[in-house]
Homo-oligomer: A and B are copies of this chain.
């Protein structure tokens, strides 16, 4: 069973194309994280917020990543972080074509 990690936080930018350039290497490094299946990068330039939706293989790998990532965000000066780890209801998700078998 896969687990969803949702993370969001206040951020002054960069957003959009500038964000894509600035965080390219960070994104590449995320592919090497244990248990990480995919990440959707989220942003709201108007609200000054950003974050990510991740799929992890296990609850433990999601929690370990969140601990590491929270410290990394703290290092960027970002301290007010919303985060939750959820299990996936697979039967209902299948009905709605949710991409959890990546």
Known: A53-B53, A99-B102. A88 touches B41 (CB 8 A): yes
Identical copies of this chain, number: 2
A88 to B39, CA, bound (A): 11
Residue count of chain A within 8 Å CB distance of chain B: 45
Residues 41-54 of chain A, each 1 if its beta carbon lies under 8 Å from chain B, else 0:
11110000111010
> In whole Å, how far is A23's beta carbon from the nearest beta carbon of chain B?
6
> In whole Å, how far is A58's beta carbon from the nearest beta carbon of chain B?
15
Interfacial residues, chain A to chain B (CB-CB below 8 A):
4, 6, 8, 15-17, 19-20, 23-24, 27-28, 30-31, 36-44, 49-51, 53, 82, 84-93, 95-100, 102
